């Protein structure tokens, strides 16, 4: 039977419905999907070696025999590490797995079994071993195979060589290839291989290019990576083009409130604040809505910039709303707004989950009738009954805490309102181009004057007494402190116990010092009470889980001790650390690591000691942990990549983005003949919504 890319896999010769089902469950439905099931590595048979000859960083293939398989518990969590020991006539080596490839994976490695191990040799504490190698059965027809063999991720017992045979079967049966979706000028400008050839080469690798494949630098891989980025970028570009069509509230006035605000401040705006507000103001004065992200390190004064925008909007008669991720933060913003905006005549309101029903009713009525200029709150703001009379500006603080839908709901409460998101997590450029690729970016890259950098030290548990001693010296000088514990979801109870028991211990140890305890399981009113006491210096040391992470501003607190620092992401550590260093006092951050910290963990904390540049830290974090982990939540858009990697393929990402935006610049409605395949593909990938802005 002649196949096409959209033919179901089950019609492939030798497959049938049962195997077809198995593939479908893995998300592989069509022949096209099968072609995009790329090998996870290539085995270079010319690199076959014996164990005794291995050297660090070699990528090799060895023929060996299984000696033992066992699992080892890791720390106090439920995670396990698997160790497969293999040997040949020359020696033996450990193959370690920190993740289980699939259930039952290790069961087939019985002692004496002959296997082929393919992977990179790693040096672990002076011993050579493999981490996550490919271990595959030795095939009867082994000798007749190519010198470079694609290795596929096994599908529930379907071994890699079986998958290879299926894929190649499909290539031999396929007759009809779709036309290139990309216009010719892109193929030429970026020197791209035809997609068809690229796909084929992935599954029929050229032994001459083994080294290129290993580094994802072959022209075949580049084409595929380019495509993956291109479709995302084209989608983002069309969204952005769409924004430019929505009619926005025009905010243009004499800026008398703005002038009064600036005059009332006890300090000068930083140049960065002025520049960023300038960019915002220009957007507000346009007839299509702003979609802007303001990035800036903790304490760089983003909130004030957003207040300025709200003041400016109110003078043109528009309402604004500011949504924050926690009640503590919403209340803090509200208090600040009372100081800064109320004197200018702005009418403010606060709406959080715990607001009393009567208050709430009053606020909602006032909002609806236009008697409120700025409403500040938590996600309580997105509820249906929150109705504005004239919403002109939506501001979202620490926006990575919110999902795309939540942002969308707020937007829909106005008539194409302007949209401003703020984040203290510096976003590496690659993420700014993908996850947030439809937003314009402003960066507050300057701190208000008079802040000295936070001195950071990483140390081990054994030095905790000294760390506490040092903290107490600061307390004696009148300062305040934070002690932070991680709260990892899977072991929430254990961690909570850590914070609570440490709090009890400290109270006993230092009876003259007043301690407070703050954690996520407390009622909002209890949390507030604790925070208020801390703000008033009635609590000197706040023992807390990460609930204090965002936004909390207590300038007298100048020292933070972070326990189990190795368990945090670097960007999170950086945010936490930003809670100190907010006043005139020299500030300190002590990172305490558990004894079990890995080399990688040490490298990460060393990075924290070295730099206070949030962007550098974010790039490093992204490199070490990947985008999913980095963002804290799984962000849509990135999970779709089969081969592309944001860190490794930055250059290609840049090209794909440039190409996608250029397509829409030349042909904003995608009406040209050369763009018809592309338009069809966009529609297929993202549905009609993708074209809403441009059609
Ligand atoms: P961010 O939200 O960027 O983390 P904030 O807006 O909370 O930072 O600002 C931190 C503190 O700095 C606040 O107390 C704020 O009043 C103060 N601040 C803001 N801008 C300036 C400035 N230009 N000069 C001095 N202090 C400032
Ligand atoms: Mg903030």
**What tens digit of pLDDT does each residue of 514-546 get?**
999 988 778 877 888 898 899 999 999 999 887
Q: How confident is the model at residue 141 (pLDDT cuts 50, 70, 90)?
A: low
* CA–centroid distance for 240 within its chain: 21
Q: How confident is the model at residue 186 (pLDDT cuts 50, 70, 90)?
A: very high
Rounded CA gap, 685 and 680, in Å? 9
Rounded CA gap, 536 and 543, in Å? 16
Q: Are residues 192 and 311 both part of a single domain?
A: no
Please check whether residue 535 is in contact with residue 560, taking contact to mean a CB–CB distance below 8 angstroms. Answer: no
Total tally of structural domains belonging to the chain = 4
Ligand 1 atom nearest to CA at 444: 3
Ligand nearest to the CA of 294: 1
Residue 496 has pLDDT above 60, yes or no: no
Structure confidence by residue, pLDDT tens digits, 426-466: 778 788 888 788 888 999 988 888 777 899 999 998 999 99
The pLDDT of residue 636: 46
Ligand 1 pocket: which of 270, 331, 426, 448 to mutate (most atoms <8 Å of CB)? 448
Distance from residue 526's CA to the centre of ligand 1 (Å) = 26
Ligand 1 pocket: which of 303, 323, 334, 548 to mutate (most atoms <8 Å of CB)? 303
Distance from residue 582's CA to the centre of ligand 1 (Å) = 8
Sheet strand arrangement including 480-484 = 455-460, 588-593, 557-562, 480-484, 541-544, 515-518
Q: Are residues 440 and 474 both part of a single domain?
A: no
Structure confidence by residue, pLDDT tens digits, 27-53: 899 999 999 999 988 887 776 778 988
Q: Are residues 410 and 463 both part of a single domain?
A: no
Distance from residue 258's CA to the centre of ligand 2 (Å) = 20
Q: Are residues 78 and 131 both part of a single domain?
A: yes
> 492 lies in a domain?
yes
Ligand nearest to the CA of 335: 1
State the DSSP string of 178-198.
Answer: PPPSS-HHHHHHTTPPPHHHH
Burial of residue 479, with CB atoms counted within 10 A of its CB: 0-12 exposed, 13-18 middle, 19 or more buried: buried
Q: Are residues 234 and 280 both part of a single domain?
A: no
> 629 lies in a domain?
no
Please check whether residue 485 is in contact with residue 576, taking contact to mean a CB–CB distance below 8 angstroms. Answer: no
Distance from residue 342's CA to the centre of ligand 2 (Å) = 19
Rounded CA gap, 278 and 614, in Å? 23
Q: Which of 103, 132, 151 is the last residue of a domain?
A: 151
Q: Are residues 402 and 485 both part of a single domain?
A: no
Distance from residue 547's CA to the centre of ligand 1 (Å) = 20
Ligand nearest to the CA of 550: 2
Residue 376 has pLDDT above 80, yes or no: yes
Q: Which of 444, 476, 493 is the last residue of a domain?
A: 444
Structure confidence by residue, pLDDT tens digits, 582-620: 888 899 999 998 877 777 788 888 999 999 888 888 888
> 27 lies in a domain?
no
Rounded CA gap, 283 and 280, in Å? 5
Residue among 213, 207, 218 nearest 148 (CA): 207
Distance from residue 245's CA to the centre of ligand 2 (Å) = 31
Q: Which of 611, 639, 674 is the last residue of a domain?
A: 611
> 643 lies in a domain?
no
Residue among 621, 523, 518, 640 nearest 571 (CA): 621
Q: Would you call 224 helix, strand, or coil by DSSP?
A: helix
Q: Are residues 278 and 390 both part of a single domain?
A: yes
Ligand 1 binding site (Cβ under 6 Å of any ligand atom): 267-270, 273, 296, 298-304, 424, 448, 553
Ligand nearest to the CA of 574: 1
Q: What angle do CA 54, 60, 65 make, to 5 degrees?
A: 80
> 90 lies in a domain?
yes
Q: What are the strands, taking DSSP E only, across 310-373?
A: 319-323, 348-351
The pLDDT of residue 130: 94
Taking the CB of residue 253, how many other CB atoms lie within 10 A of it?
A: 16
Rounded CA gap, 370 and 364, in Å? 10
- In the chain, pLDDT over 70 holds for what percent of residues? 92
Q: Specify the residue with its C-alpha closest to ligand 1, atom 24.
A: 448
- Domain range for 685: 181-245+649-695
Ligand 1 atom nearest to CA at 305: 6
Domain of residue 350, CATH code: 3.40.50.300
Which ranges of 265-396 would DSSP assign to H, the alpha helix?
A: 271-284, 302-315, 327-340, 357-368
Close Cβ partners of 476 (under 8 Å, ≥ 6 residues apart): none
Burial of residue 137, with CB atoms counted within 10 A of its CB: 0-12 exposed, 13-18 middle, 19 or more buried: middle
The mean per-residue pLDDT over the stretch 75-97 comes to 85
Q: Specify the residue with its C-alpha closest to ligand 1, atom 18.
A: 301
> 163 lies in a domain?
no
Please check whether residue 528 is in contact with residue 519, taking contact to mean a CB–CB distance below 8 angstroms. Answer: no
What pTM was estimated for this model as a whole?
0.72
Q: Are residues 463 and 547 both part of a single domain?
A: yes
Ligand nearest to the CA of 337: 1
Distance from residue 296's CA to the centre of ligand 2 (Å) = 9
Rounded CA gap, 257 and 264, in Å? 10
The pLDDT of residue 417: 94
Q: How confident is the model at residue 242 (pLDDT cuts 50, 70, 90)?
A: confident
Taking the CB of residue 633, how many other CB atoms lie within 10 A of it?
A: 11
Distance from residue 268's CA to the centre of ligand 1 (Å) = 11
Rounded CA gap, 236 and 151, in Å? 34
> 546 lies in a domain?
yes
Ligand 1 atom nearest to CA at 303: 6
Ligand 1 atom nearest to CA at 397: 2
Token pair 């290129």 is found at: 212
The pLDDT of residue 140: 65
The mean per-residue pLDDT over the stretch 199-223 comes to 93
Distance from residue 302's CA to the centre of ligand 1 (Å) = 7
Q: Are residues 348 and 458 both part of a single domain?
A: no
Rounded CA gap, 199 and 31, in Å? 12
Q: Are residues 188 and 79 both part of a single domain?
A: no
Ligand 1 atom nearest to CA at 296: 3
Distance from residue 145's CA to the centre of ligand 2 (Å) = 60
The pLDDT of residue 487: 66
Q: Are residues 193 and 284 both part of a single domain?
A: no
> 631 lies in a domain?
no
Distance from residue 74's CA to the centre of ligand 2 (Å) = 37
Distance from residue 329's CA to the centre of ligand 1 (Å) = 14
Q: Specify the residue with its C-alpha closest to ligand 1, atom 13.
A: 301
Tokens encoding 545: 């889980």
Q: Are residues 411 and 516 both part of a single domain?
A: no
Q: Which residue has the higher pLDDT, 334 or 98?
A: 334
Distance from residue 277's CA to the centre of ligand 1 (Å) = 14
Q: How confident is the model at residue 568 (pLDDT cuts 50, 70, 90)?
A: confident
Domain of residue 92, CATH code: 2.40.50.140
Ligand nearest to the CA of 296: 1
The pLDDT of residue 480: 97
Burial of residue 652, with CB atoms counted within 10 A of its CB: 0-12 exposed, 13-18 middle, 19 or more buried: buried
Beta bridge mates, 481: 541, 559
Rounded CA gap, 297 and 579, in Å? 11
Q: How confident is the model at residue 146 (pLDDT cuts 50, 70, 90)?
A: low
Ligand nearest to the CA of 553: 1
The pLDDT of residue 489: 47
Structure confidence by residue, pLDDT tens digits, 290-340: 999 999 887 889 999 999 999 999 999 999 999 998 888 898 899 999 999
């Amino acid at each position: 039977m002649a196949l096409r890319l959209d033919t179901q896999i089950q019609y492939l010769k030798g497959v049938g419905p049962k195997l077809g089902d198995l593939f479908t469950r893995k998300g592989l439905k069509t022949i096209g999907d099968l072609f995009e099931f790329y090998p996870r590595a290539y085995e270079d048979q010319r690199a076959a070696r014996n164990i005794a000859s291995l050297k660090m960083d070699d990528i090799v293939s060895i023929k060996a025999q299984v000696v033992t398989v066992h699992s080892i518990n890791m720390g106090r969590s439920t995670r396990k590490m698997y160790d497969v020991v293999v040997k040949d006539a020359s020696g033996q080596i450990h193959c370690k797995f920190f993740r289980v490839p699939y259930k039952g994976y290790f069961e087939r490695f019985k002692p004496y079994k002959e296997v082929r191990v393919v992977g990179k040799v790693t040096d672990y504490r002076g011993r050579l071993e493999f981490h996550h190698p490919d271990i595959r059965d030795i095939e009867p027809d082994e000798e007749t195979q190519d010198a470079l063999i694609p290795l596929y991720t096994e599908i529930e017992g379907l071994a890699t060589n079986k998958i290879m045979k299926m894929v190649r079967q499909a290539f031999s049966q396929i007759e009809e290839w779709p036309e290139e979706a990309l216009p010719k000028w892109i193929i030429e400008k970026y020197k791209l291989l035809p997609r068809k050839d690229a796909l084929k080469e992935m599954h029929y690798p050229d032994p001459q290019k083994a080294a290129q494949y290993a580094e994802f630098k072959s022209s075949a891989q580049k084409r595929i990576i380019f495509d993956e980025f291109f479709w995302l970028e084209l989608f983002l570009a069309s969204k952005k083009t769409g924004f430019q069509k929505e009619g926005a509230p025009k905010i243009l006035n004499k800026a008398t409130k703005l002038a009064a605000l600036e005059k009332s401040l006890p300090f000068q705006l930083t140049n960065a604040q002025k520049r960023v507000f300038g960019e915002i103001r220009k957007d507000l004065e346009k007839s299509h809505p702003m979609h802007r992200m303001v990035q800036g390190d903790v304490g760089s004064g983003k909130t004030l910039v957003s207040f300025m925008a709200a003041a400016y909007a109110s003078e043109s008669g528009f309402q604004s709303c500011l949504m924050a991720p926690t009640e503590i933060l919403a209340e803090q913003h509200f208090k600040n707004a009372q100081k800064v905006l109320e004197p200018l005549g702005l009418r403010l309101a606060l709406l959080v989950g715990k607001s009393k029903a009567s208050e709430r009713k009053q606020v909602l009525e006032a909002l609806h009738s236009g008697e409120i200029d700025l409403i500040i709150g938590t996600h309580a703001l997105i509820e249906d009954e929150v109705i504005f009379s004239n919403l002109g500006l939506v501001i979202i603080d620490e926006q990575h805490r919110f999902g795309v839908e939540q942002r969308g709901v707020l937007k829909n409460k106005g008539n194409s309102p302007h949209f401003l998101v703020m984040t203290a997590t510096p976003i590496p450029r690659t993420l700014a181009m993908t996850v947030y690729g439809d937003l314009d970016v402003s960066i507050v890259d300057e701190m208000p004057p008079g802040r000295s950098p936070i001195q950071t030290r990483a140390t081990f548990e054994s030095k905790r007494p000294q760390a506490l001693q040092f903290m107490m010296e600061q307390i004696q000088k009148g300062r305040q402190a934070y002690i932070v514990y991680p709260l990892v979801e899977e072991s929430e109870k254990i961690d909570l116990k850590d914070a609570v028991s440490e709090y009890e211990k400290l109270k006993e140890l230092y009876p003259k010092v007043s301690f407070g305890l703050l954690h996520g399981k407390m009622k909002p009113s209890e949390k507030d009470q604790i925070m208020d006491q801390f703000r008033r210096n009635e609590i000197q040391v706040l023992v807390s889980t990460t609930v204090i992470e965002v936004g909390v501003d207590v300038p007298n607190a100048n020292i933070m001790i972070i326990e189990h620092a190795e368990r945090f992401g670097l960007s999170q550590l950086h945010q936490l650390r930003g809670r100190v260093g907010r006043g005139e006092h020299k500030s300190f951050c002590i990172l305490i690591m558990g004894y079990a910290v890995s080399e990688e963990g040490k490298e990460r904390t060393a990075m924290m000691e070295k730099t206070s540049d949030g962007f550098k830290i974010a790039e490093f974090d992204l490199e070490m942990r990947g985008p999913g982990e980095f963002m804290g939540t799984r962000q849509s858009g990135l999970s779709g990549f089969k081969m592309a990697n944001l860190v490794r393929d930055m250059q290609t990402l840049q090209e794909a983005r440039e190409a996608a935006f250029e397509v829409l610049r030349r042909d904003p409605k995608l009406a040209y003949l050369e763009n018809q395949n592309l338009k069809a593909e966009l529609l297929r990938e993202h549905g009609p919504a993708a074209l809403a802005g441009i059609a």
